[in-house]
Amino acid sequence: MVNTEIKLKGLTLKNPVMTASGTFGYGEEYADFVDLAELGGIVVKGTTLHHREGNPYPRMAETPMGMLNCVGLQNKGVDYFIETIYPRIKDFDTNVIVNVSGSNIDDYIAAVSKIDALENIPAIELNVSCPNVKQGGMAFGVTCSGIEQVVRAVRDVYHKHLIVKLSPNVTNIADIAMAAESAGADSVSLINTLLGMAIDAETRRPVLSMVTGGLSGACVKPVALRMVWQVAKAVKIPVIGLGGISSATDAIEFLLAGASAIEIGTANFIDPAISAKVAKGIAEYCERQGVKDVNELIGGLRL
Amino acid sequence: MKKISDFKVIEKQTWPRAAFLRLQCGEQLPEILGGQFVQVRVDGGQHTYLRRPISIHDVDCQNNTIDLLIQEKHEGTKILCSLPVGAEVNLVFPLGNGFTMPEKNDEILLVGGGIGIAPLLYFAKTIKANRGNKVSFLLGGRSADDLMLLERFREVGDVFLTTNDGSLGEQGFVTQHSLWNTKKINKIYACGPMPMMKAVAKVAKEKDIWCEVSLENQMACGIGACLCCVENTTEGNLCVCKEGPVFNINRLLW
C-alpha cells in the first residue's frame, strides 16, 4: 500500500491532488462526476469582500491546447459565501480551501478575517495574481514589496494554513516566492494564468471583452513546470504546482520538479472526472515504480 | 444526474454543411429534458481543446441513443460532421435547464432558425408525451438547404416554413410569416441565431405572448464552474450552461 498522504504545515492532504480555483466551482458542480472524498482538497472560486459581477461577455477564447479567460472574479461576496455556500460544502470529506482576492489591503483583511472564523475551512489561497481585475489582484503579486505588504497584513489576521498563489507574469518568480515566504506564507501555489490576448482577424477586433486575458490549459505546462522547479529551489516552504496538469504523468512531473501537491484546473473542463483519475494514477505510478511513499517523489528530479 | 459516457456513431446523414449523427451509449441514459445539451469531446483539431456544446435533437431511451444535428461552422463542428459510422465520441450530458413544460391547453409555437431547429424536435416530442398538446413549428432558413429532416418535424406537429430566398415556404424571416396574423398562440419557444431570437422576442412582447429562448453563448466547462458563458440578465450575470440555455425573455436585457 502506497502512502499518498502529504503534510503541509497544519494542513494534511490525503493525496497531493487538489482542484484549482475558478475551474471547479464550489465542488458541487462536479459531484456527479467525482467522489470529492478521493481528492486531497478543492480550492473554491475566488471570493472577494464585496459582490462582483465580473467582466462583460465574451470572457473566453479557445487557443491551441488551451484557453484564455477574462472572467474577472465574478462572485457574490464573502458574506454570501459564508451564509449560503459554506453550509452546503463544509462537510465535504476533503479539504475545502477558499481562494480570496481583493483590490486593496483592507478588503483582503476583512474578507480573510471572516473566513478565518469558519471552522471547516483549514486553509486559504491568497490570490495576488488575477490578471483580469483592473485594480489590485495582480498589482500586489508582481513586485516583492507588494506581495510582502499584502501577505504580512493577511498573516496578522489569519491563523490557519496560508497559501499564496503566485503570478507567472513577473521577471523572476523565485524572488516573489521568497518575498511571500519571508512575509509569512505557509506555502505558495503557482502558476496563475499567463497574460495573453486573442484577435479576430476577420473583424479586426479583440476576442475578449477586456482585450487581454489569462492563458491556461495544457499549453502552459512547460512554463509552469519550469517555474515550480525554480521556486522549489528558492524557498523552504512547500510549493503547490499547477498549470496545465491533465494527467497523472503531468502531476508526477510537478512533484519531481519540487511540488509537494498539485492543482488541476482547466483539464476539469475537458474531463470533469480527471481530478480523481489523477489521484488514482499517482498511486498506480508509485506502485509500478516501487515507491512506498509519494513524499519520496517530491523534488526527486534526477539531474 | 449528469454523466460522462462513450457513445458510438451508429447512423449518419450528411448535407453540404451539416450532419445528423445518431449516437448510441452502452449504458442506460438518464432522464433528458427538451432543450438540454451535450458537451462533445472533439479529438484531432488544432483549435479543439475544449468540448463543443451541441443541443439534443432527439432521444431514444429504449435504444439509448441521442441524435445530434450539427452545422459545420469551424474546426470543431467540421470534425464532428466528418465522424464516420462506428466512430467513438465522448459526451458529458445532459446539461442545462431545458425548456419549461407547457400546460395542457397552451397553444404552442416552436420557432427555429437555421441549426436552431435542432432542439425543438425532442422538446415537441416530450410535450406530446407529457401533455398531449398539438404543437406547431415555424422553421426558417436562408434557403431550402438549411431546413433539414422536415419529415421528422411533420411527424410531431404542423410545420410552417420561411426562407430568405423564397426557395421553400414563405419568403422572408420567421417573424414575417403570415401565421402570426391568423394563429392563436400563447406560448413561444425559440432557438436560432441571436438576431432571429431577438426579433421573435420583440414580436412576443408586442403581442404579450409568453416566450422562452435558448441561447448559445460560448462555453468552456458547460456545468456552471468557469463562468465564461454568462448572459447579463435582470438578476445579473447568469451562466448560460447551467442557469440556461433557456431563458424567459423577461429575464433578459434585450
**pLDDT per residue as tens digits for the range A237-254:** 999 999 999 999 999 999
Q: With 90 as the cut, is the pLDDT of residue A159 above it?
A: yes
Alpha-carbon distance of B214 to B36, in angstroms, equals: 9
Structural domains in chain B plus CATH codes: 3-95 (2.40.30.10), 108-214 (3.40.50.80)
List the single residue in B with minimal CA-CA distance to A64: B47
CA angle A172, A173, A174 (to 5 degrees): 95
Specify the pLDDT at position B46.
Answer: 86
Specify the pLDDT at position A129.
Answer: 77
Structural domains in chain A plus CATH codes: 6-297 (3.20.20.70)
**pLDDT per residue as tens digits for the range B121-142:** 999 999 999 999 989 999 999 9
List the single residue in A with minimal CA-CA distance to B45: A64
Lowest mean pLDDT among A153-162, B19-28, B39-48, B77-86: B39-48
A91: cell is 462537510
DSSP, residue by residue, chain B:
--EEEEEEEEEEEEETTEEEEEEEESS------TT-EEEE---S-TT--S-EEEE--EEETTTTEEEEEEE--SHHHHHHHTPPTT-EEEEEEEES--PPP--TT--EEEEEEGGGGHHHHHHHHHHHHHT---EEEEEEESSGGG---HHHHHTTEEEEEEETTSSSSEES-GGG-THHHH---SEEEEES-HHHHHHHHHHHHHTT-EEEEE-----SSSSSSS--SEEEETTEEEETTTT-SEEEGGGB--
List the single residue in A with minimal CA-CA distance to B76: A62
Residue A81 contacts B, CB cutoff 8 Å: no
**pLDDT per residue as tens digits for the range B32-49:** 999 999 999 999 888 899
List the single residue in B with minimal CA-CA distance to A244: B49
Cβ distance of B47 and A71 shorter than 8 Å: no
Q: With 60 as the cut, is the pLDDT of residue A268 above it?
A: yes
Residues A250-268, mean pLDDT to the nearest whole number:
98
Chain A stretch 182-201, residues whose beta carbon is closer than 8 A to a beta carbon of chain B: none
Q: Which helix (H) or strand (E) holds A17?
A: strand A17-19
Cβ distance of B227 and A58 shorter than 8 Å: no
Residues B197-202, mean pLDDT to the nearest whole number:
98
List beta partners, residue A69. A60, A214
* Residues in chain B closer than 8 A to A23 (CB atoms): 221, 225-226
Residues A43-55, mean pLDDT to the nearest whole number:
96
Active site residue A130: yes
Cβ distance of A62 and B237 shorter than 8 Å: no
Specify the pLDDT at position A131.
Answer: 66
Choose the closest CB to A69 out of B41, B228, B232: B228
Residue A117 neighbours by CB under 8 Å, 6+ apart: none
Q: With 90 as the cut, is the pLDDT of residue A196 above it?
A: yes
* Residues in chain A closer than 8 A to B220 (CB atoms): 60, 67, 69, 266, 269
Task: Find the largest Cα–Cα distance for chain B.
Answer: 50
Q: Which helix (H) or strand (E) holds A147?
A: helix A144-157
* Percentages of chain A per state (helix, strand, coil), in multiples of 5: 35, 25, 40
Instruction: Choose the catalytic residue: A70, A130, A219, A286.
Output: A130
CA angle A228, A233, A236 (to 5 degrees): 100
Q: Which helix (H) or strand (E) holds A284?
A: helix A274-289
- Using the structure block, give the residue that is written with the C-alpha cell 491546447: A65
Contact B91, B38 (CB under 8 A): yes
Provide, rounded to the nearest whole percent, the portion of chain B with pLDDT above 70.
100
Interface with B, mutate which of A19, A24, A28, A29 (most B CBs under 10 A): A29
Residue A31 contacts B, CB cutoff 8 Å: no
Choose the closest CB to A74 out of B41, B223, B237: B237
Specify the pLDDT at position A133.
Answer: 66
Taking Cα atoms as reference points, which of A269, A189, A274, A197 lies closest to residue A232?
Answer: A189
Alpha-carbon distance of A99 to A70, in angstroms, equals: 17
The CA distance from B178 to the nearest CA of chain A, in Å, is: 36
Residue A56 contacts B, CB cutoff 8 Å: yes
**A72: helix, strand or coil:** coil
Specify the pLDDT at position A138.
Answer: 67
**pLDDT per residue as tens digits for the range A89-143:** 999 999 999 999 998 999 999 999 999 999 999 999 999 977 666 555 667 899 9
Cβ distance of B4 and A273 shorter than 8 Å: yes
Q: What's the mean pLDDT when you consider all of chain A? A: 96
* Residues in chain B closer than 8 A to A272 (CB atoms): 4, 92, 221, 223
CA angle B141, B33, B73 (to 5 degrees): 35
ipTM score here? 0.95
**Which DSSP state fits A100?**
E
Provide, rounded to the nearest whole percent, the portion of chain A with pLDDT above 70.
97
Specify the pLDDT at position A234.
Answer: 98
Residues B199-219, mean pLDDT to the nearest whole number:
97
Cβ distance of B237 and A54 shorter than 8 Å: yes
Contact B134, B124 (CB under 8 A): no
**pLDDT per residue as tens digits for the range B85-121:** 999 999 999 999 999 999 999 999 999 999 999 999 9
Specify the pLDDT at position A139.
Answer: 77
Contact B134, B161 (CB under 8 A): no
Count chain A–chain B contacts defined by CB atoms under 8 A. 93
Contact B143, B165 (CB under 8 A): yes
Residue B237 neighbours by CB under 8 Å, 6+ apart: A53, A54, A57, A74, B227, B230, B231
Alpha-carbon distance of A36 to B137, in angstroms, equals: 44
